[in-house]
Every structure is written in structure tokens, then in C-alpha cells.
Amino acid sequence: MESWYVVKTKPNREFMVRDQLVTRGIETYLPLWKPVQLSNVNKKLRPYFPCYLFVNLDLQQTSMSSVAYLPGVNYLITCDDQPVRVEQSVIHAISARLQMLENTVTDRNGKPLLHGDKVIITTGVFDGYEAIFDKHLSSGDRVRLLINFLQKRTPLTIERTMIQKH
């Protein structure tokens, strides 16, 4: 019967190990996320658990050693020499958490922003102005704010990294 297990990889080898396992027909789950960064440099997806990867195996059909001795693998996580099973609910919970993080917009300091939050613009022409966070725009790190300008709320599109939650 198939169960989820955890593989400990060598540093920065998660993708290589995942690809080898997939090539062998083994189901894997490598939770990935895009960390919040202040610059636009290196915005690639990274493992949520560095050096760890989940595999779905039937240990009656696939031997532990066929996974444990792959290049880039350190070992399977065990307890009393038995591989530790991970419940499907844990895999679902991790996936749900990553989905939530993906849909969360943060300010330059990593604080989550919700519609209606007060923010301060920290750089640029509007430096020091207060505004209200409206929404994240689909175009990367751009957000729409509502700023009081000429006695009315005017929409302003700006980089997420230029604002700070009030």
C-alpha cells in the first residue's frame, strides 16, 4: 500500500532528486514557494522545506534502497529503522498553506496586506503619503492604492516594495 515518506536530500539537490524519482515513475511532492524579497533579483521558486522532498511509495513494491541511494539523496527519514509515514492530510495541509501564501500580498517588510489597510508610501514621488491598499494587480509586484488627492480618492498603481503597512 502506498504511503508518503520524507527524503532528506543533499543541499540544493531537491529538484535533481525529484526529477530522478519522477523518471522512475515515483510520485513526488516538492512544496515550492516564492519568498518575499525586497529586490526583483532572483525571484524564482524555492523549496519550502530546503533539503526535503516527499515521495509516495509502496515499500512492498519499491525498496527503500532504490530511493535512498539515488545521487543527491542523503537518506529517508526513519524512526527505529522504519521509514516514517506522512499522512495524506499533512500533504494537503502543506499544499493549502502554500496556496494561502501565494495569494497573500505583503508590504516591503513582509507584513500581509488586506483590502482597506492603511499604508505609507516610502519612496518615489509620493514618499510619505498615506494611502489605502486596494488590491494586488496580476502584473507581478504591482498593487493598487487609493490615495487622497485633490479631495477625492484616486487610484494609484505602484510597486509593492514601495509601501509599508501603517
C-alpha 37/C-alpha 107 separation (Å) is: 10
Of 66, 70, 59, give the one whose Cα is nearest residue 5. 59
CATH code that applies to domain 3-103:
3.30.70.940
pLDDT reported for residue 140: 66
- Let me know: does 114 contact 133? Beta carbons within 8 Å: yes
Q: Which residue has the higher pLDDT, 139 or 118?
A: 118
Higher pLDDT, 45 or 122: 122
List the alpha helices (DSSP H) in the chain: 14-23, 64-68, 88-102
- pLDDT exceeds 90 at position 138: no
Chain segment 35-62, per-residue pLDDT in tens: 655 455 556 788 999 999 999 999 999 9
Please tell me which residue, 49 or 34, carries the higher pLDDT value.
49
Task: Tell me the per-residue pLDDT of 57-106, one tens digit each, with 9 for 90 and over.
Answer: 999 999 889 999 999 999 999 999 999 999 999 999 999 888 877 767 77
9 within 8 A of 74, measured Cβ to Cβ? yes
Percent of the chain with pLDDT over 70: 92
Q: Is the pTM value of this prediction over 0.85?
A: no
Is the CB of residue 99 less than 8 Å from the CB of residue 33? no
* Lowest mean pLDDT across 13-27, 33-47, 140-154: 33-47
Backbone angles phi and psi of 16, in degrees to 5: -65, -45
Residue range 107-165 forms a domain whose CATH class is: mainly beta
- What pLDDT, on the 0 to 100 scale, is given for residue 42? 57
Q: What are the extents of the domains in the chain?
A: 3-103, 107-165
| Mean local confidence (pLDDT), 122-136 | 91
Model pLDDT, residue 41: 53
Per-residue pLDDT, averaged over 104-123, amounts to: 86
What span, in angstroms and rounded, lies between the C-alpha atoms of 75 and 65? 9
Mean pLDDT across the chain: 88
